[in-house]
Amino acid sequence: MKFFIKSDIKGRIRVHMNQRSMSYEEADTLQYYLEKKPGVISATVYERTADVAVVYGGDRAEVIDALARYHCEDVTVPAEVLETSGRALTAKYRDKLIMKVVFRYSVRFIVPRPIRYARIILKSLRYIAEGLKCLVRGRIEVPVLDATAIAVSIVRRDFSTAGSVMFLLGVGELLEEWTHKKSVEDLARSMSLHVNNVWLKSGDTQVLVKTDTVQPGDEVVIRMGNVVPFDGIVVDGEAFINQSSLTGESAPVHKRVDSIAYAGTVVEEGEITVRVTETKGATKYEKIVAMIENSEKLKSEAESRSAHLADALVPYTFLATGLVYALTRNVTKMLSVLMVDFSCALKLAIPISVLSAIRESNEHGITVKGGKFMESVALADVIVFDKTGTLTKAVPRVARVIAKEEGSEDEMLRIAACLEEHFPHSMANAVVNAAKEKGIEHDEMHSKVNYIVAHGIASSIGEKRVVIGSYHFVFEDEECTASEEFTRRINALPPEFSFLYLAIDKDVVSVICIEDPLRKEAPDVIRKLKESGVSKVVMMTGDSDKTAASIAAQVGVDEYYSEVMPEDKAGFVEKEKLAGHRVMMIGDGINDSPALSAADVGVAISDGAQIAREIADITIAADDLNELLTLRRISQLLMKRIDGNFKKIVGLNSAFILMGVGGIIAPSTSATLHNTSTLLISLDSMRNLIDETAES
């Protein structure tokens, strides 16, 4: 497609496509196309001007070539991307805000004064009615104060002040609604399902197929640790399913034949076959939006405190109004107090700050499920890390396969891959990928597989029982043994590897050595977390003590615990919380789920187990632990902004009241100053925290 370059600096280019404007679908398609290109960090498409800003980390020539080869009709975009892009929502509220401002000033200069005043009186009825409803419920809150200020202005025939108050209240409501809906949709979109493959039941066998090929009526098998990809009816098996993301239930729900399984819930224990009734991704998306909008999880403690404080201050505003009148007998000075209140700004600016911070986190690839979790991140003084896939790379690889019988290494890898492919985890993926790289086919050869959390997998091949997993599981729980000669070979293996032991009929026949290299950024991230106020960093792993000690020394944690069970991790978190600490848990596996749930804030790595992502309060991308520092920084800057907003609101409004009581400004001026300052503080609260800091 033709375009011309408008600006070009290293790492960022802005171009104008050869058209006057774009539809929302065209803009979303181009953005999707560019963001899928290697080397492109982010792309922003402006549909009204047909401009495109691309931030890239690769070769500039590749970006130029991608733009030149782009044709909208040749790009296939998933339906859910177009349905939930949020572009139409932003345009809708932007237009609403512009039209509101244009209409107000057009009316002031065009409409005759009597008609304008009549319109103000009619418009005031809504605010007065809301205030009366509050009084009927026996509550003196913000709507009562707004209604009183508007009503008194109209009674005094100060229609200009009444109109200004209502206009600014309307703009504030519009901004709050816009920010709230955008933040909720951004959050819901990032929480939407990303399940690419499912096990489709075909006769007596199971076939791994792409999710988008599944049709209503098909039957899919969902095992422990996996997300239910579609709404459907359970037709076989039983399981305990975590539905907290949709219903808020803390305990898993028992599902059996004829029960309904909902898309986005997670199988914690057991295995079920579900007959699909709904395949559209939007069903999950809509449920998440409803869940978020009705959930108290969106409210941080600071947000809740500000809302309660706002309502609590209203009676004192009325008391101050009466006191000023009693002392001065001056209606004008009395109105100067009534026209200014602290509650309006508190109720508007603080929630906008929180929702904007959630939105900003999302822009950095961090999904935060509620404001209170950002507050916990900011205040966390103990951080617990899982090792595998968290402090170490999310893509470990098989370094070597040791077989009891020389020459049978490929066969051992084939058996291991066949078992491990059913329970995706970073180490399991390493085994499956190793078999794929060697071109080893591993068709189903075993009976039903059972996953034992934090231990391994058990199944049968023919009449023989086969197990694969940790030393503890294979040698102690399953009581398998290895020959003397093979034991010597096992003991000689380097301690920096992690090991999977494969045994058939109690005989250990193979050891798979997993190379799990340390993330290069891990030591620096841990050091900077300590500098940010974290008092203790702990590593917990089910791996051997030798491996754990080696990693702990390299990354610089304060404590480490090896060969721990899932309940041990959760128990440690609970103990630290009882000691008065704010605890953040970071993990990626099924065995991390209890600890993620127990912590004040649980952070999951996005490439980890689906159940970990579902239970966690925050999800970060798998490619860089520096996102933890970004999350911590945004969270701490949010708390700083909230504190700053509180001081601004108290300081400015106190000054306006004093100036009004002192006769320096008229009530209409104090009302305008109050509402304008509220609006400016709220608009400032919508700015990105990190960008704002960089500018200052």
According to CATH, the topology of domain 367-393+518-620 is: Rossmann fold (3.40.50)
User: Nearest-CA neighbor of 90 among 222, 188, 227, 185?
Assistant: 185
One of 3.40.50.410, 3.40.50.300, 3.40.250.10, 3.40.1110.10 is the CATH number of 397-515, namely 3.40.1110.10
pTM of the model: 0.66
pLDDT at residue 83 is higher than 80: no
In the prediction, which pLDDT does 180 show? Answer: 66
CA atoms of 550 and 267, how far apart (whole Å): 34
Q: What is the pLDDT of residue 128?
A: 93
Residue 673: closest CA among 168, 152, 157: 168
pLDDT of residue 190: 56
Quote the Cα angle for 271-272-273, to 5°.
Answer: 140
pLDDT band at 370 (very low <50, low <70, confident <90, very high): confident
CB 379 within 8 A of CB 400: no
- Which is nearest to 117 in space by CA: 153, 170, 169, 168? 153
More confident residue, 682 or 22: 22
- Which pLDDT score, from 0 to 100, does residue 632 have? 95
Per CATH, which fold does 3-77 belong to?
Answer: Alpha-Beta Plaits (3.30.70)
Q: What is the mean pLDDT of residues 373-389?
A: 90
pLDDT of residue 638: 92
The contacts of residue 410 (CB under 8 Å, 6+ apart) are 401, 438, 440
Q: Choose between 395 and 145: higher pLDDT.
A: 145
The C-alpha angle 500, 502, 506, rounded to 5 degrees, equals 135
> H or E segment at 625?
none
Residues 6+ apart with CB under 8 A from 157: none
pLDDT in the model for residue 310: 66
How confident is the model at residue 179, as a pLDDT?
A: 67
Residue 283 has pLDDT above 60, yes or no: no
Report the distance separating Cα 367 and Cα 359, nearest Å.
9
pLDDT digits (tens, 9 = 90+) for 404-419: 998 899 999 999 988 8
248 or 514: which carries more pLDDT confidence? 514
Q: How does 149-181 read in b/e, with b if 16+ C-beta sit within 10 Å?
A: bbebbbeeebbbbbbbbbbbbebbeebbebbbb
Residue 557 reports pLDDT greater than 90 = yes
What is the fold of 197-280?
Answer: 2.70.150
Categorize the per-residue pLDDT at 693 as very low, low, confident or very high, splitting at 50, 70 and 90.
very low
Confidence of residue 434 (pLDDT cuts 50, 70, 90): very high
